[in-house]
Amino acid sequence: MDQRIGDGPARGARGTATIEEVAARAGVSRSTVSRVLGGGARVSPEALTAVRQAIAELNYVPNRAARSLASRQTHAIALVVPEDTTRFFGDPFFAAIVSGINARLSRSEHVLNLIIASDDPGDKATSYLTGGNVDGALVVSHHTSDTYVERINQAVPVVFGGRPVRTRADDYFVDIDNVEGGRIGTRHLVERGHRRIGTITGPLDMPAGVDRLQGFREVLEEAGLEPGPAEDGDFTTDGGAEAMRRILAAGDPPDALFVASDLMARGAIGVLHARGLRVPEDVAIVGFDDSPVAVNMPPHLTTVRQPSRLQGEAMADVLLARLAGGDPPHATILQSELVVRETA
């Protein structure tokens, strides 16, 4: 653990440089470096480039976490969502997560800041989050390409919603047992007598997508069945529809599908109906989430329920415990369950 309180002259345990060394390398004053770390206001483009280059070369990480714990708490927590706004506002999963986080923070002195950024051009979000403006961050729906999240994780206390893409021993996260969730949904289809079972996966640059696919494959292997057609999706309705079209275009459609989100399942069902195929008579469907879209129109989805609101509460609990100097568990795993309705 980094023992520095503030940016003193000594190197921290993480091996990062001091702010003075960054200033010397960039050929600027210490105050200029501080302004860059605070968001870059009143800094010339040349100085901004020089400081950022020096930070990268020296692996400098401002130790804001220790400062917050010591005496400079902002009582603000950021929820960082590396997605675009269309995905954030269109997926009920995020509403449930935010509801849980907000319910927990309402019983504390902290307020919630929302940062939606599928990328971080110019490091605007990163500079804000590492510049002493928040005490910690909650990160949900991160992808392999979201490298800026790692810089935030090095600078302030972070709790991930879902297993981190690159898990380290000192990471904290609250996840659903997505492997078991994939097993539960696929096992239901096997037990209903289906033998050609395909899948529409989540994004395979996200641990949730990879884990649900693993559970699907494990059950089919245990049952002695060959996996049916598999297409990648993106957790959206349009993504599920497009994946379903690719499966049908390949010929020999499956008699059942495990779909890694309810939104994608809705998209798939729409395509099946448009092609004259019935659900569940021709193709049975099991979704994942048990979000409101599971029952907003017929047929009502059979789905794997994940406790998203509880996940948000647990994430906030872990982060608040860290900020209070406690020792919460690094990994918190929540369980899912099958909800049987009309589609399988």
Please tell me the pTM assigned to this model.
0.76
140: which strand partners? 161
Give ∠ CA 227-233-234 in degrees, rounded to 5. Answer: 150
pLDDT of residue 123: 79
CA nearest neighbour of 148 among 94, 208, 82, 204: 82
The secondary structure of 85-147 as a DSSP string is HHHHHH-HHHHHHHHHHHHHHTTSS-EEEEEE-SS-GGGHHHHHHHTTS-SEEEEES--TT-T
Supply 230's token pair: 């598999």
In order of 70, 86, 103, the CA distances from 325 in angstroms are: 10, 37, 22
pLDDT of residue 262: 97
Domains and CATH numbers, the chain: 1-62 (1.10.260.40), 70-175+310-333 (3.40.50.2300), 178-307 (3.40.50.2300)
Cβ-based neighbour number of residue 29 at 10 Å: 11
pLDDT of residue 337: 96
Supply 184's token pair: 């539960």
pLDDT of residue 121: 64
Contact 322, 136 (CB under 8 A): yes
Coil, helix or strand at residue 200? strand
pLDDT of residue 11: 44
Phi, psi angle pair for 14, to nearest 5°? -75, -10
pLDDT of residue 190: 97
pLDDT of residue 122: 64
pLDDT of residue 117: 81
Contact 290, 339 (CB under 8 A): yes
| Farthest-apart Cα atoms in the chain, separation | 72
d(CA 216, CA 286) in angstroms, rounded, equals 11
Which tens digit of pLDDT belongs to each residue from 161-185? 998 887 778 899 999 999 999 999 9
List of the chain residues with pLDDT < 50: 1-15, 64-71
